[in-house]
Amino acid sequence: MITAIEAAQKRRLLPALGRWLAPAALVLFLAAAPMVGLPSFAQSLVLEILIFSLLSLSLNLLLGYTGLVSFGHAAFFAISGYALGIVSVRLTTEVMVTLPLAILCAGLAAIPFGWLCIRLSGFYFLMITFALAQMVYVAAFRWTWLTGGSDGLLIPGPTVFGVTALSERSSFYLFVLTVFSLCCIALYAIVRSPFGCTLVGIRENAVRMRALGYNVRRYKLAAFVVGAAFAGVAGALNALFNQFIAPESAHWSQSSLALVMVLIGGAGYFVGPIIGATIVILLQHWLSSITEYWGLVLGLLFIGLVSGARDGIAGIVAAAVRRLAGSRR
């Protein structure tokens, strides 16, 4: 006979399994797609969605969980891409060397940037992140000897242990999907950890968290650096995907695009940035083939969501699920 405690444990276990089974099934489906004849263009589209989903997830750690509205997150996206490109051109194309070095460069650059930025809040934090990102953009534009300037930097194809295993689109697709999945697991573990709960507490009431003995600045700096490191992963993958990096990667418009993805999907919800990135990129590719004013449609969607549902699409779905569960009870 099942006791009440065992029944309660089973009820808690089923939703937990559901949270992992659905993403696992999606990853398996995406992994099998090239084997069943997914066209090259569709693979490229999925790759772009995965890369920008990762960029948006890294920004969501700041915006959705810590309450820091950054308008310069693309700086680390670009720093990582340039680091990978420079190392690939001048030293080695070995991805097991270039990828970690690129992520390390983004994380190290975030330490002085974050040290300056976290001393401000609100609008001032947003503006100083914008200013620092534009400094990176200008440096990439002016340092022609290092970055190629306005012409950008061509990146040779990556190698794995000396073999050009990632030269084919299908193998690179699986590589990016694997890296994306590992990053999602790591980010989910971070936001569900005591560290992630502390970040949420800082977002809700920084004064109270400081009164409880938490070093708020240190936690904000840690979130800033961790978010920059994951943005660096996205930047490195983007550079490998395009085999090219240009100053536009650090431009404020790139940061605003990531910000729109997070807000449309739902800031503070783990899957929100993935939803937002998917919608924005699909709209961009679909509408750009119909009209050059695709940005107008995206802007109207953004205005509508901000006005009517500030929690984004993920928030709308979560509210609907809560209402449905309440009606059943």
In this predicted structure, the answer to whether residue 180 has a pLDDT above a threshold of 90 is: yes
In this predicted structure, the answer to whether residue 9 has a pLDDT above a threshold of 50 is: no
Q: Are 216 and 54 in contact (CB under 8 A)?
A: no
Model confidence over 264-305: pLDDT tens digits? 888 888 888 999 899 889 888 887 777 777 777 777 777 777
Q: CA 231 to CA 251: how far, in whole Å?
A: 14
Section 219-235 average pLDDT: 94
In this predicted structure, the answer to whether residue 222 has a pLDDT above a threshold of 80 is: yes
Q: 297 vs 194, 259, 279, CA distance in Å? A: 40, 17, 12
Q: What is the DSSP letter of 311?
A: T
Q: What contacts 259, CB < 8 A, 6 or more positions away?
A: 59, 63, 69, 70, 71, 73
Q: Are 312 and 264 in contact (CB under 8 A)?
A: yes
Model confidence over 125-179: pLDDT tens digits? 889 999 988 999 999 999 888 888 888 888 888 888 767 767 777 788 889 999 9
Q: Per DSSP, which regions of 149-241 are E strands? A: 153-154
Model confidence over 62-109: pLDDT tens digits? 998 998 888 889 999 999 999 999 998 888 888 889 999 999 999 999
pTM above 0.85, yes or no: yes
Record the tokens describing residue 34, joined without a space. 């090239």
Section 6-12 average pLDDT: 43
Q: CA 12 to CA 189: how far, in whole Å?
A: 19
Q: Are 126 and 71 in contact (CB under 8 A)?
A: yes
pLDDT category at 36 given cuts 50, 70, 90 is confident
Q: CA 137 to CA 251: how far, in whole Å?
A: 6
Q: Which residue would you say has higher pLDDT here, 296 or 52?
A: 52
Q: Per DSSP, which regions of the chain are E strands? A: 153-154, 244-245
